[in-house]
Amino acid sequence: MNTGKLYVSVSAEFDRDGNMRPSVIHLDDGRDVKIKRIKNVTRAASLRAGGQGTRYICSIGKQDIFLFYEEPRWFIEIRS
Amino acid sequence: MKTILHVDLNNFYASVECMYDPSIRGLPVAVCGDIELRHGIVLAKNYIAKAAGVKTGYTIADAKRACPGLVCVLPHMDRYMRFSAMAKGIYSDYTDKIESFGIDECWLDMGGTDKGVQTADEIRKRIRKELGVTASVGVSYNKIFAKMGSDYKKPDATTEITEENYKDLLWRLPLSDMMFVGRATEKKLRLYGMETIGDLASADPRLLERLLGKNGLLLHRFANGRDNSEVSALNEEPEIKSIGNSTTSPRDIITDDDVRVTFMALCESVAARLRRHKMKCYTVAIDERNTELFAFTRQKHLVSPVCTADEIFAAAMELHRFNRRPGEKLRSLGVRASSLCREEGLQLTFYDDEKKQKKEAAERAADEINSRFGRKSVVHGTTMIDRELSSFLPSDDRTVSPDRFEAYL
């Protein structure tokens, strides 16, 4: 069933203070989506996908992706 | 005057499950124990299931009879614990005086602020946004009225109970809405013509004392908003009065060995928890429930305090043997240690022989090993007679209990 939740692989960078910043989202079909800018980081629930964690609003060009770190996994909201 | 908030996470278990699974949102949902493990009762339900007549404590079959389209989901205690901790994290942004009342309710002492309602609304908003569940909040000048305020309007609402409005809002409510008034108390009060909280508040305290003892006086004070109890500080542990574990076994407990295996697994947990809290017990109690759901409790006082599984087990088995009924099939067993005392400063008695001390040292060594290499790395041989019966992890196996207030009734 499509619940609007897609678990993904993520590459992340860690700064000197240990802060984590996701940089690339790896989709199952082989595409890599580069995160150009992170607009907002906050703890949030995703009612659309059914999950809860740290939400990164990521700019990937013209559109934004809601990427969640639901420890220990990452997921994106399918917003179609 | 103090401002106290009481935050109640609405239909907590069911709300968390619905948050995680969008496909069951909008349907009647009940969180139920595992039917395979014979824990198949309703632990919590959402509003839709409640409106259809599903009650906490119903068997799954009864619940589905009341509500044919009911969706039953298994509990995820780890999620509830995590959400509860996150909610407390939100509260701690506003005060450090946070007192838990179960997993899903807390009192917050906001000091003398006049922004109680504003804070309550902000907390509700954050819980909705950050956790994806709703909360109702009561704002008042004492803990009882704050609690009654959070019950007043659900879900996702703030209710302020003030010295000016409490009679209008609360006194017309039925007695059963009053905290600590259960079915038995309600029945007694009804015999004297009391129907509402207002009737209770206006009753003669001497009559209430005669009917209900000192609890009658307490209820009278509460109904009139006279509650001076403090909200305890975050992480302030309440005094432990007893430590116990119980289990509903995956199959009937029939033979002596079945009883021994189950009791030993329970005693290991109770003893390890006693030692973790640096305590010993003078009293051991057992709870037994048979397959006809007949239950009884027996207890035994010990000459000297103990903290080893062996000694607690010996007492439990003695109680069991003395009270056993031949041919009885048991469904659940429990062991409880009470009359607790701190282990330091205890006077040695003649009974504290070398053998006893060695046993205690051995079990403490097992605690160390179990904490380093994982639970049940070292166990008593008795528990290995039947691993099916002893495989549960009692002290981690947090009881997923029915809503607390329904349990009072």
Q: Both tokens of residue B310?
A: 């062996």
Q: Chain A within 8 Å of B294 (Cβ-Cβ)?
A: no
A31-60: per-residue pLDDT in tens? 999 999 999 999 999 999 999 999 999 999
Question: What confidence tier does B28 reach under pLDDT thresholds 50, 70, 90?
Answer: very high
What pLDDT, on a 0 to 100 scale, did the predictor assign at position B396?
A: 47
pLDDT at B6 over 90: yes
Residues B234, B107 contacting (CB under 8 angstroms): no
Residue B126 above 50 pLDDT? yes
pLDDT digits (tens, 9 = 90+) for B307-322: 999 999 999 999 999 9
Closest partner CB to B22 (pick from A42, A44, A48): A48
pTM assigned to the model: 0.74
Give the distance from residue B128's alpha carbon to the nearest chain A alpha carbon, in angstroms: 8
Per-residue pLDDT of B326-370, as tens digits, reads: 888 998 899 999 998 887 766 566 556 778 888 888 999 998 888
Element (DSSP H or E) covering residue B218 = helix B214-223
Chain A interface test: which of B18, B19, B20 (most A C-beta within 10 Å): B20
pLDDT single digits (tens) B110-122:
998 889 999 999 9
> Which residues make Cβ contacts (< 8 Å) with residue B200, sequence separation at least 6?
B175, B178, B181, B189, B194, B208, B219, B220, B223
Domain assignment of residue B385, given as a range: 243-390
Closest CA to B269 of B393, B386, B176: B393
Indicate whether B269 pLDDT > 50: yes
* Radius of gyration of chain B measured on its C-alpha atoms: 24
> B233: closest CA among B340, B109, B98?
B98
C-alpha B227/C-alpha B220 separation (Å) is: 10
pLDDT tens-digit profile of B47-90? 999 999 999 989 999 999 999 999 999 999 999 999 999 999 99
Q: Which residue of A has its CA nearest to B21?
A: A50
* B407–chain A Cβ distance below 8 A for any pair: no
pLDDT of B398: 45
Quick one: which of B347, B336, B212, B210 has its CA closest to B284?
B336
Interchain pair B22, A51: CB under 8 A? no
pLDDT tens per residue, range B289-304:
888 878 889 999 998 8
Q: What type of residue sits at position B322?
A: F
Query: Would B134 be classed as within a structural domain?
Result: no
pLDDT digits (tens, 9 = 90+) for B200-245: 999 999 999 999 988 899 999 999 999 888 888 766 666 778 899 9
Is-contact B247 B236, C-beta < 8 A?
no
| Distance, CA of B173 to CA of A30 (rounded, Å) | 62
B22 with A4: Cβ contact below 8 A? yes
Active-site residue set of B? 105
| CA–CA gap between residue B408 and residue B180 (Å, rounded) | 7
Share the mean pLDDT of chain B.
88
In this predicted structure, the answer to whether residue B401 has a pLDDT above a threshold of 60 is no
Residue B282 lies in a domain: yes
In chain B, the number of structural domains is: 1
pLDDT of residue B397: 41
Q: Is the pLDDT of residue B96 over 70?
A: yes
Q: For residues B300 and B15, what is the distance between their CA atoms, to the nearest angstrom?
A: 42
Q: Could you tell me which residues come within 8 angstroms of residue B30 by beta carbon, excluding any fewer than 6 positions away?
A: B14, B42, B43, B44, B45, B46, B49, B54, B60, B63, B70, B71, B72, B73
Residue closest to B406 by CA, chosen among B100, B168, B157, B179? B179
- Among chain A residues, CA nearest to B125: A44
Q: What is the pLDDT of residues B146-165, one digit of tens each?
A: 999 999 999 999 999 999 99
pLDDT band at B402 (very low <50, low <70, confident <90, very high): very low
- Mutation to test the A interface, candidates B9, B17, B18, B19, most A Cβ within 10 Å: B19
CA distance linking residue B402 with residue B6, whole number of Å: 20
Hey, is the C-beta of B23 within 8 angstroms of any chain A C-beta? Answer: yes
Specify if B313 maps to a domain.
yes
- Ordered by start, the domain boundaries in chain A are 5-77
ipTM of the complex: 0.89
Polymer length in residues for chain B: 409
Higher pLDDT, A9 or A80: A9
CATH (domain of B347) = 3.30.1490.100
C-alpha closest to that of B315 among B347, B358, B282, B363: B282
Q: How far does Cα B291 stand from its chain's mean position?
A: 24
b/e per residue, B63-76, with b = 16+ CB within 10 A? Answer: bbebbeebbbbebb
Query: Residue B113: what pLDDT?
Result: 84
